[in-house]
Amino acid sequence: MGESTGQLSSSQSDVFFMALRGLHTEPHLASDAKQTVDALKEIIGASDARSAVAAGLPPPAKLLVESALKGVKHSFVEDLKPAEALETISKADVGITWVQYAAAANGALVEVVYDDAVKLSSCLPRVHVALVSSQTLLPDLDAAIARIGETLKSGSGRKPVVSIISGPSKTADIELRLIYGVHGPHTLHVLLMDWI
């Protein structure tokens, strides 16, 4: 192979970004905490968002998202009560979620959740922002599906619901013309963090 690990991972993120662009998805790269917050702010600003939900974020990412959402009405889905969850998520303009890993060559995000409120945060808002750590990039869908299999086969207790997401919600049901945002997001942003 000859290449150092660093080069390999940077070329893999190139492959990933190219695949994402081919899927009507907007990729962003953040190399430190500040860039991450700035990128989020920019996305939220450009989305004209008045409200947001965030879900499934690990603690450090949660802090960054909170700081990026200053001034925007928002909630963390984990704090919502069952009775209000659906309505709140549905009304949000932006959903920010954590993606456990991704298939670079396919531009596919793998979301592993144990609560449907988290899943609905990437389903219902018109803009979805997916946070991915570059450490979790896998080469392709075969590798990602193999990894999902390991999760499903291991452990006891409730199994997660896994979604492989490749682009925004789309349809070609009207005269085969592609249109985006049927039920779920019409825009998908992927924020790749190469520092986490």
Partner 1 sequence: MTTAREKLNEDIETAIANRQASDKMWRAMARGRENRMTGIEQFQVNVEEMKEADRHVKVGVAGDPALVERFSESVRKNGGQVYFAKTGDDAVRYVAELAKRTGTNLIVKSKSLTTEEIEFNHHLEKEGVRCVETDLGELIVQLNHEKPVHLVAPAAHLSTEDIAGIFSRELKKEIPADPEAILREVRPYLRPLFLTAQMGVTGANIGVAETGTIIVETNEGNGRLVASAPKVHVVIIGMEKIVPSWDDVSGLVQAHAVSATGQHQTVYVSIISGHSPLAGSMEGREFHVVILDNGRSKMREDPWFNDALNCIRCGACMNICPTYGIVGGHVFGYLYPGPIGIPWTAGVHGLENATFAHLCISCGLCKEICPVDIDMPLMISKVKEQEIAKNGQPRVNGFFTSSQRLAKLASATSPVSNWMISNSASRYLMEKTVGVDRRRTLPKFDRNRLRSRLEGAKQGSGEAGKLVFFPDIYADYNDPELGYRAVLLLRKLGYEVIVPELQWAGMPYISYGEVAKATETAVRNLKILEPLVSSGYGVVSTEPTAVYMLREIYPKLSPGKGSTQVAAASAGYFATVQKHLPKAVLKPAFPTDGPVGFHIPCHERALNVGVPAMAFLEGAGYKVEKVETGTCCGMAGTFGMKHGALGYDLSMAVGERLFKLFDESGTKLVASESSVCAMQIGDGTGLRVLHPLYFVEPPG
- Interface with partner 1 by CB under 8 A: which residues? 19, 23, 77, 80-82, 84-87, 90, 106-108, 113-117, 119-120, 123-124, 141-142, 145-146, 148-149, 152-153, 158-177, 179, 181-185
Residue 143 CB, shortest distance to partner 1, in Å, is 9
Residue 170 CB, shortest distance to partner 1, in Å, is 5
Query: What is residue 126's three-state secondary structure?
Result: coil
By beta-carbon proximity to partner 1, the closer residue of 38 and 140 is 140
Half-sphere exposure of 16 (CA within 13 A, CB side): 31
By beta-carbon proximity to partner 1, the closer residue of 36 and 166 is 166
Asked if residue 137 lies in contact with residue 106, where contact means CB atoms within 8 angstroms, the answer is: no
Residue 78 CB, shortest distance to partner 1, in Å, is 8
By beta-carbon proximity to partner 1, the closer residue of 72 and 164 is 164
Cα gap 72→69, rounded to integer Å: 5
Residue 163 CB, shortest distance to partner 1, in Å, is 5
Work out the end-to-end distance of the chain between its first and last CA atoms, rounded to an integer number of angstroms.
25
By beta-carbon proximity to partner 1, the closer residue of 77 and 131 is 77
Extract the runs of DSSP E, i.e. beta strands, from the chain. Answer: 26-30, 51-55, 73-76, 94-98, 101-103, 108-113, 127-133, 137-138, 161-165, 170-171, 179-180, 187-193
